[in-house]
Amino acid sequence: MDPVSLQQGNAALELLLNRRSCHHLEAPGPGAEALSLILQAGLRSPDFGHLRPFRFLAARDEGLDRLGAAMARAAIAAGKPEKVIARAPSMPHRAPLVLVVVASPREHQHVPAMDQLLCAACSVLMMQLAARALGYGGVWRSGWMMYDRHFHRELGLAESEQIVGFLYLGSPGARPPEPHPPEDPAAYLSWI
């Protein structure tokens, strides 16, 4: 079978090859049933030892205000410029639902912490793809707060935990940009 015929009619492959972030998100966001499916997809992340080295914090409605307030307090504690502090409370309101994905590595003799961190990071992409398959848009955001221990304390994270991403989800408010033109994978491939 040639590559063109492999792509045609293959919804899963089309989803992967056309993945893109959607920065303009509006209500409605995923409801309870859709969110459950999205989280189930996150649980399918490659997870050697089935350790489940992650957890998800969700914010919607008033939770977005609480998340924004936590972001503002962390910005103040971190000594960020006034412009950053002023912007922080509105940041979560860029989408009707925000998932904070936290790597929670566990001590394990065969599974290093790095593998567990990668598992948690993969869950973000799995959930973004599931949201897209359900007709929602999403964007995986990072930024200084992802690494800031003040912010981690605001969210009640343990010292061993690490945020691996903020997944903003909602209905596309504008047509997402077309994916970049296909690239030649051979440019990134070396054979051993």
20-29 pLDDT, tens digit each: 888 899 999 9
Regions of the chain where pLDDT drops below 70: 1-9, 176-177
pLDDT at 19: 82
pLDDT at 15: 85
- The DSSP bridge partners found for residue 153 are none
Conformation bin of residue 98: beta by default, left when phi > 0, alpha when psi is -120 to 50 = beta
pLDDT at 143: 93
The CA distance from 189 to 192, in Å, is: 10
The CA distance from 164 to 175, in Å, is: 27
Question: Which pair of structure tokens corresponds to residue 172?
Answer: 């596309």
pLDDT at 67: 98
Helix (H, G, I), strand (E, B) or coil at 37: helix
Q: Do the Cβ atoms of 92 and 169 come closer than 8 Å?
A: no
10, part of any domain: no
116, part of any domain: yes
Give this prediction's pTM: 0.89
157, part of any domain: yes
CATH number at residue 43: 3.40.109.10
pLDDT at 8: 63
Angle between helices 113-133 and 32-42 (to 10 degrees): 140
pLDDT at 182: 80
pLDDT at 130: 96
Query: Cα 158 from chain centroid?
Result: 20
pLDDT at 175: 76
Nearest to 38 by CA among 56, 16, 52: 56
190, part of any domain: no
pLDDT at 2: 56
Q: Which residues form the domain of 104? A: 23-60+95-172
Domain count, the chain: 1
The CA distance from 87 to 83, in Å, is: 6
